[in-house]
Chain A
């Protein structure tokens, strides 16, 4: 079945550091891919998405490119801020409705 594997956290970075959170997937078809973020005390929010190979999703300085050849959707940001501290979830949807999530990666950014 479909699955998503994320790098394990927690990830701790200093402010302005470069961020990469790895995400790889297995799927039988051509899923849509997503990154969701959960800030402390808040619900899950969609951060960005990509629906086909080579698409790049971007939002709030975060980017991720749908790489079909490596079945990956790594999340990157050039310069993280303290306010980016959160749990990040990679997810896929192959059937067009249900989301299949990874386990999440906790990010802590220190001043």
Chain B
């Protein structure tokens, strides 16, 4: 496709469940980013991949959060034992090579009950 694709668009889970969020970046984009956007706030950086290598995961809030990009294309953000504070929109972005501009997907809105 032409843009960054994220799925699902909406996810509702019960507290304690595991969830997996998918990101399909723009074809040929080497760099991939995950951000978390709480209601009424700006996006906050979670993690960054260059190809399959995770170069920065300093923004992941806890060890319940895990991201992977095994073949350097599609990425999955996994959250284990979800908590209510994990409720947010999770944004994926990709860029041709590290440097800007970053192209954003429409996000996955995660609600933890």
Interface residues in chain A, defined as those with a beta carbon under 8 Å from any beta carbon in chain B: 4, 32, 34, 36, 42-46, 49, 89, 91, 93, 96-104
- Cα-based distance from A42 to B31 in the complex (angstroms): 22
A42 touching B33, Cβ below 8 Å: no
B106 touching A96, Cβ below 8 Å: no
- Cα-based distance from A4 to B42 in the complex (angstroms): 10
CB-defined contacts of B59 to chain A, threshold 8 Å: 98
Known contacts A36-B104, A89-B42; 18 additional CB pairs below 8 A are: A32-B100, A43-B104, A43-B105, A44-B91, A44-B93, A49-B100, A89-B43, A96-B98, A96-B99, A98-B45, A98-B59, A99-B45, A99-B100, A101-B43, A102-B42, A103-B42, A104-B41, A104-B42
CB-defined contacts of A46 to chain B, threshold 8 Å: 100-103
CB-defined contacts of B100 to chain A, threshold 8 Å: 32, 34, 46, 49, 93, 99
Interface residues in chain B, defined as those with a beta carbon under 8 Å from any beta carbon in chain A: 3-4, 31, 33, 35, 40-45, 48, 55-56, 59, 91, 93, 95, 98-107
- Cα-based distance from A97 to B44 in the complex (angstroms): 13
- Cα-based distance from A43 to B109 in the complex (angstroms): 12
CB-defined contacts of B31 to chain A, threshold 8 Å: 97
A45 touching B104, Cβ below 8 Å: yes
Q: Closest CB of chain B to A110's CB: distance in Å?
A: 22
CB-defined contacts of B98 to chain A, threshold 8 Å: 96-97
A-B contact pairs, 14 of them (CB 8 A): A32-B100, A34-B100, A43-B91, A43-B107, A44-B91, A44-B93, A49-B101, A93-B100, A97-B31, A97-B98, A98-B59, A100-B45, A103-B40, A104-B42
Q: Closest CB of chain B to A104's CB: distance in Å?
A: 5
Closest 9 CB pairs of A and B: A101-B42, A44-B104, A46-B101, A98-B45, A43-B106, A43-B104, A97-B98, A103-B42, A101-B43
